[in-house]
Amino acid sequence: MISKAFEVADHVIIGVMKDNALEKLHKICRENVEPYERRVKKLLTYVSELLNIYTNKTFKIVSISGPYDIVLEKNNIDYIIVSDETLPRAVMINILRRQKKMKEIKVIIVPIVKDIQGRPISSHRFRVGEIQ
């Protein structure tokens, strides 16, 4: 999804959930989620590799407390990159933006990557040990 964002936008905003916000979620194995600083460091490594491909692009990593933080605060967001699983959230974001008289965000759906058995590869499956 991040590479798609760099493909379509000149400036990319990447939201990373704060540690204290993760504690409020009822996710299975959330204790296996790496600390915020480590997640940001890995993200910076990945993005620096992308910038070798997508030159003249800029980015900003922001800490978020929930799925609506940035997208309901900034009117100059043009795209949101989602999977089929997160599409309903993007639809809700645009509903909330319309209610606030903000412009809608163009939704770009990226296919979910699947393993050889056809199951989605996800961070959840890594955390519960299904994928090494």
Give the CATH number for residue 9.
3.40.50.620
Residue 132 falls inside a structural domain: no
Name the one residue in this structure whose structure tokens are 């809700």. 92
Domain of residue 41 covers 2-127
pTM of the model: 0.80
pLDDT tens, N- to C-terminus, the chain (132 residues)? 899 999 999 999 999 888 776 666 655 555 667 888 998 999 999 999 999 999 999 999 999 888 888 899 999 999 999 998 889 999 999 999 999 999 999 999 998 888 888 887 766 676 667 766
Structure tokens at 54: 């997508």
> What number of H helices and E strands is found in the chain?
5, 4
State phi, psi for 70 to the nearest 5 degrees.
Answer: -70, -45
What is the total count of domains within the chain? 1
Nearest to 34 by CA among 61, 16, 14, 60: 16
- Residues with Cβ within 8 Å of residue 33, at least 6 apart in sequence: 22, 27, 39, 123, 127
User: What is the rounded distance in angstroms from the CA atom of residue 49 to the CA atom of residue 57?
Assistant: 12
User: What is the rounded distance in angstroms from the CA atom of residue 125 to the CA atom of residue 123?
Assistant: 5
